[in-house]
Structure 1
Amino acid sequence: MILKPREVPTELKTLRLLRPRMNLPDEQRYIYLEKGFKGEQQLDAWLEDLTTDCFVINDPLLNQNRNFFQIDKMLIFQETIYLLESKYSKGDFFIDDDKWKTISGIEIQDPQLQLKRSETLLRKLLQQHRMNFSIESTLVFTHSEFYLYNAPPKLPAVFPNQIHRFLEKLNRLDSKMTYKQNKLAEKLLALHLDKNPHTQFPDYDYHELKKGVVCVSCRSL
């Protein structure tokens, strides 16, 4: 049961409106948000065949002691909460001495860091509200042209060619939603924040924006 459907992030929605009418000060930020949202939509499509009894909460934005964190997809099962973080990375990467690098040797940010942070903060949040659930966090790489060399077997990640087995694993879980799970879901939805205080929007002057009708298909005037 989807308790919170996925919506276009406010920042991306705003940049989509402004982009045809002005030169964005940070075009790469817009591209990054578009790719991220596309990856989240792919994750949603892959999990449409999820049949196990569970609650689905998309993009919950939570605050634990002034530490804000957002999760791409949260699945609440009978005893376990699954945190899924989609990554729409394209190309070849490898892990060298716990460092993530592109095939050309450029070091990139470890995608596990954000997920580990979210897991830690969620665990503290649950403890604060006296709710006892185990948490499992998984990276889901959603781009068909992604490949990771030297990936350790215990890496908490699902690659495109593994998604069907991952879905089968979830569908085999013995899960039933009871008062306990309903209470958790209601609490998380009540704690969800509609606005991220760290979101920054570009400055613009209405009179300097290009006027006209934007095409729905190609998003140009």
Structure 2
Amino acid sequence: MEYKREKPVSLKIMESLAKRGELTPKERQYLQQLQKGFAGERVFDQMSTQLSKNCLIMNDLLLQPDASNAFQIDSLILTNKAIYLYEIKNYSGEYCYGEEMLLKLPNFKVSNPLIQVQTTKNKLILFLKELQYDIDVKAYVTYVNPEFTLFNAPRRENILLPTQLNKHFTTLENQSIPLTAFHKKIAADFAAHQIEPTPFKNDIPNYSFSDLRKGICCEKCNSFHLELQRIKYHCCSCMYERSINSALLASIKEYQLLFPDNNLNTEMLFRWCNKAVTKKRIRRVLNTLL
């Protein structure tokens, strides 16, 4: 059983700003980091699909304990024997291991993710204690990119390299037995304490309605070069075709994402869509959201 992973809000916003505005080199680098991180999480998700219903997979948890600060978990797998916590990294290239820092050759340093995953593990253990659960917790830094090399890596059980992942999941599957009501109650308590993530505002560039390009985009390639027919649209860039209402709904949701504090109204959305569709159509699609 799996709780599906959603694209992070920060990534959605940055992709929209890249499509409708101009990003600085630093902002584009931030977008690429978000995209790479999400791609790595999707790789992990695909590999973990081999696990049966005897395991419960929960992704992108942002847990708010009653007695401490919220903390985030990339992926968590609940089995009959233990909770497995994964900090997923999509690093590529050649790195040298260090207790405090990893050195990407020739001279770029990043913090050792083992420090981060140990902190998260400690927070999870305290949270389980708060909820009065006694269950073992195992935590791993999980490197998913096949083009990642880690020189001088110690033989430690809490590091999973790309070549070890299939074996890890196979072992987990072979050892798993059906979950009990006890485990399902843990999952329910996690869900009850989960909160909605908010974007890291310091990393999101300032933007306004007037700054952004208006129009309806192709849902496949994000092109604004659309030929609108009576019911469907034809993308002149990638030849994709779908209903106009589908693209319009996507544009409305994009507006909601970028301007969550603004009320939805037909006139503003008419301007947001660059007057490409009628107000009557906008009202009809808008009614499906209200």
Pair 1:113-2:112 in alignment: no
Distance 1:91 1:72 in 2: 22
Distance 1:177 1:95 in 2: 37
Distance 1:7 1:96, change over 3 A: closer
Distance 1:14 1:99, change over 3 A: closer
Distance 2:90 2:193 in 1: 28
Pair 1:210-2:213 in alignment: yes
Distance 1:162 1:170 in 2: 12
Q: Number of paired residues?
A: 219
Distance 1:162 1:38 in 2: 19
| Conserved? CA contact 1:52–1:173, under 8 Å | no
Q: Deviations over 1:114-157 (max 9, x none)?
A: 21111111110010111111100112211111000001011512
| Conserved? CA contact 2:102–2:110, under 8 Å | yes
2:162 to 150, 160, 163: 160
Distance 2:149 2:101 in 1: 15
Q: Which residue of 1 aligns with 2:16?
A: 17
User: What's the offset of the Cα at 1:12?
Assistant: 0.9
Identify the range of structure 1 (19-28 vs 39-48) with the bigger mean alpha-carbon deviation.
19-28
Distance 1:12 1:106, change over 3 A: closer
Question: What is the TM-score of this pair, normalised by structure 2?
Answer: 0.71
Distance 1:172 1:52, change over 3 A: farther
User: What's the offset of the Cα at 1:170?
Assistant: 0.5
Structure 1: segments with no counterpart, 5+ residues = none
| Conserved? CA contact 1:85–1:115, under 8 Å | yes
Q: Deviations over 1:43-69 (max 9, x none)?
A: 001111112612111111012444222
Query: What SS does structure 2 have at the residue aligned with 1:192?
Result: coil
Letter matched to residue 63 of structure 1: Q
Q: Deviations over 1:26-85 (max 9, x none)?
A: 222211111000000000011111126121111110124442221111100112000012
Distance 1:106 1:132 in 2: 41
Distance 1:67 1:109, change over 3 A: same
Q: Which structure 2 residues correspond to residues 50-89 of structure 1 after superposition, within 5 A?
A: 50-51=51-52, 53-64=54-65, 65-89=67-91
Letter matched to residue 203 of structure 1: N
Pair 1:103-2:105 in alignment: yes
Distance 2:46 2:125 in 1: 28
| Conserved? CA contact 1:86–1:139, under 8 Å | yes
Q: Which residue of 1 aligns with 2:38?
A: 37
Structure 2: segments with no counterpart, 5+ residues = 225-290
Query: What SS does structure 1 have at the residue aligned with 2:64?
Result: strand
**Aligned Cα root-mean-square deviation (Å):** 1.8
User: What's the offset of the Cα at 1:188?
Assistant: 0.2
Distance 1:191 1:167, change over 3 A: same
Q: Deviations over 1:70-123 (max 9, x none)?
A: 111110011200001211101000114553111214322111122111111111
Query: What SS does structure 2 have at the residue aligned with 1:210?
Result: coil
Percentage of pairs with the same residue: 27
| Conserved? CA contact 1:55–1:77, under 8 Å | yes
Query: What SS does structure 1 have at the residue aligned with 2:175?
Result: coil
